[in-house]
Amino acid sequence: MGKEKTTGVVRTELTSKGSRRVNQILEASSAIIAKNGFRALNKRSVASWLNISDGNVSYYFPTKESLWLAVIDHELSEYYRRHHPESEVDENDPQAAFDDYVSRWIDEYQDPTVRVFFSQIISVAESSSRIASKRDEIYESFTEALLGFARRLEPDVQAKELERRVLTAIAVLEGLHTVSAFRPTLFADDSRYKRRIVSLVNSIVRGDVN
């Protein structure tokens, strides 16, 4: 069980040539975001990047927001592939499965691409209702995934209380976005730091921290 994937926003029933073009557009969009941020991403900037006409981009993505939504899904797919492959931990061991999932969540913050991607979504969502809906969809799926692991640890805790604990744990984990940005060598310099975070998240979910 992991962070759930979402689906792309492009024209359906593409030819093989169309699929290649869509992939080129999405790869170019990812590069533009990494270099200049989400607000620099539009059909014209992608067309210029690929040296094709605006119409080539518009055929697959008629609006700027449809392009934004599609590249978010594209980046999410890459994110899952890099940071949440199939776990080798014994699924019959709830504690091991929980710790492994939290550890993966911590590890991903050492990837600057992840930090940029999610911070851009959060920023753009403040002025775009469709991106805000996508942001909410993403983080609700993250919450539900962590809840799944937490329920196995604390099966007797009421649903609302367990959700409150999980949301508190996520607040701690998401804070690593900022910490790992201004202290990029933290994990390398302090081998105990990751263990402390895993221990803290466990304490929160088990109700030892109120």
Per-chain mean pLDDT for the chain: 89
User: For residue 138, what are the CA distances in angstroms to 134, 135, 141?
Assistant: 6, 5, 5
The confidence band for 10, taking pLDDT boundaries of 50, 70 and 90, is low
Give the model's pLDDT for residue 186: 87
Q: Which residues fall within 8 angstroms of residue 53, CB to CB, at 6 or more apart? A: 47
Tell me the whole-structure pTM to 2 decimals: 0.84
CA pair distance 210, 204, nearest whole angstrom: 7
Domains annotated on the chain, with CATH: 7-83 (1.10.10.60), 85-210 (no CATH)
At 127-152, the pLDDT tens digits run: 989 999 999 999 999 999 999 999 99
Structure tokens at 58: 């518009």
Q: What is the CB neighbour count within 10 angstroms for residue 28?
A: 20
